[in-house]
Structure 1
């Protein structure tokens, strides 16, 4: 018999090291390894005190109905749109996420994606690989140094992107729910005005109902044909159909996207365009970041079961 006192339901795999460390400290049932998960939940769901998950593995009312003794949902990742927070609260279940640790690597990728779309790095790579260079020089691209950067969402990640932009002598403005007096950059209360001003518009705001399709057709029109959109937030924040139309018609100069409305499915229309850089939601996906996130998942579990409090609660 396993003598570990706490039983945990794990519905999403972590890294091999994360899985191993979780199993060393707790009695864990890995749901994805079960032949008949629903039967397992019906028979044993009441045993679990905590649930460990990750992005895109939904924790909804249907799942929670099998877990009457659940006290905590701990997710690896900053976002928690995959968790029904309302249902968790109604059932007195606490939720923790792993904010902060992804900030720098997401900002790195955001700025890398900005450079890639402006300087056409992906197309230029293909130009060399396809032996086009001996026939002609590569066309001129867009400079970044000294340009205007608009940031949608000046939280931890937005601020980290802004700090990187200062190294390129970029003018920086941002749009937020409210101005931040602790940071030096100019607040723009109108998103449309920010888009009209910016050469590059980077989206780093949280997902959810409040920001659904925030980057609309009118915002893309305001951005204009010589400017670029970069999205490292959530696919839901950008009206994907409007973006496809804007890219096809040259309403904006280009886009770099790490997230999509129905990922991992990416619309064929986007794949066929050469003025967009497409990435498979990897902004936070580094070995170092995943290790730090999984350490924080474990810290939340330990803290909760020893003190009843969380290190990083979702409020």
Structure 2
């Protein structure tokens, strides 16, 4: 992927030097213990996270050269999404694009959507219009999922920005409202459609980034396809030693994620990413 020497985005909030995202000195391990208690016992830990976040920030480890390079890379990819989506959203949906902020963190983080750990992977919070990313996830993709490469990492960022686009178009709000009124099985199916559309939007970004900036190099699309397959629900469940259960899928199978990523890339059109209509909704 050709990204060096290009404009970086100013919409980056780097919290990696704050330890556990301003966790009041409890550190990453302590923060993860708090998160585990909330998960396993069904306790709302938001007040605890808020108090920790308001404490004196812990001193994080200094950023390594690799950390700094990841920061530069993420900044350039985010800038590309800004330059692509501003005209695409205006021309194809009649909506003005508002840039999201991307938060870099280590270990754990507090967002308007509550507390989260890096084990959850990258995520988008519609409440504060921020993408949250621990760049260690890129290393895990390469070392444990066989999905390394800079364009694979760019796909991950573009997918989360795709959720921001859904937020701007109102899709995310409608989906989240509906999910609270339907069965768990139907809610999971709706989540899959939402995630696949974000994959398709990532493909749109890749297509227009190539057309405008000549971003792609040999093998880049294959990197993105491997990444899409690696984060498919069936692949993740199988790697955890479980039999894939489609009713429990929340992001889509490996084949589905690859299909919708390429649909967006080939068309470059938002109307080709209507996963909900394709499912008869």
For this structure pair, what is the TM-score category when the shorter chain's length is used for normalisation? under 0.3
TM-score (norm 2): 0.27
Bigger CA radius of gyration: 1
Which structure has greater strand proportion? 1
